[in-house]
Amino acid sequence: MGPENEARVGVDPGVACHDGTVGAQVPAAPESRAAEGRKGVSLHWKRMAVSMILGLAAGVAVILLFNPHVDDDVETAVTATQAPGFLVLALVALAVMLIADAWSLLILTRIIRPDVPWWRVVGVAFEAHLVGGATSFGGIEIPYQVVVLRSLGLTVSQATSTVMVKGVIHTTVLVFAALVAFIPVAGSPITTLQRWILLGVLGLILVGWVIGTLWVRRPLGMSLLPAAARRRVASFADALREFRQMGWEVLAKVTAAQLVYWVCMFSLIPLVLLALGYRGRLVPIAVGQAVLQVLMPLSPLPGGAGVAEVGYLELIGRMIPGDIRVASLIMWRVLTWLIPLALGALAMGLRGVKRHE
pLDDT band for position 323 (cuts 50, 70, 90): confident
For 55-110, the pLDDT digits (tens) are 888 888 887 887 766 666 666 556 546 678 899 999 999 999 999 999 999 999 99
Q: What is the pLDDT of residue 233?
A: 66
- Alpha-carbon separation of residue 118 from 209, 249, 323 (angstroms): 31, 20, 44
pLDDT band for position 353 (cuts 50, 70, 90): low
Q: Which residue has the higher pLDDT, 264 or 322?
A: 264
> In terms of residues, how long is the chain?
357
Q: Is 341 left (phi over 0), alpha (psi -120 to 50) or beta?
A: alpha
For 136-155, the pLDDT digits (tens) are 766 688 889 999 999 999 98
Q: Is 139 left (phi over 0), alpha (psi -120 to 50) or beta?
A: left
Residue 297 has pLDDT above 80, yes or no: yes
Cα–Cα distance for residue pair 268/79, rounded to 1 Å? 20
CA quadruple 326, 332, 337, 340: dihedral, nearest 10? 150
Cα–Cα distance for residue pair 202/347, rounded to 1 Å? 33
Q: Tell me which of 6-10, 53-57, 306-310 is least confident.
A: 6-10
Are residues 345 and 333 in contact, defined by beta-carbon separation less than 8 angstroms? no
CA quadruple 283, 285, 291, 293: dihedral, nearest 10? -120
In 3D, which of 33, 44, 45 has the Cα closest to residue 9? 33
Residue 26 has pLDDT above 50, yes or no: no
Cα–Cα distance for residue pair 288/269, rounded to 1 Å? 10
For 28-43, the pLDDT digits (tens) are 444 344 334 333 445 6
Q: What is the pLDDT of residue 12?
A: 38
pLDDT > 90: percent of the chain: 27
For 173-194, the pLDDT digits (tens) are 888 888 877 776 556 666 666 6
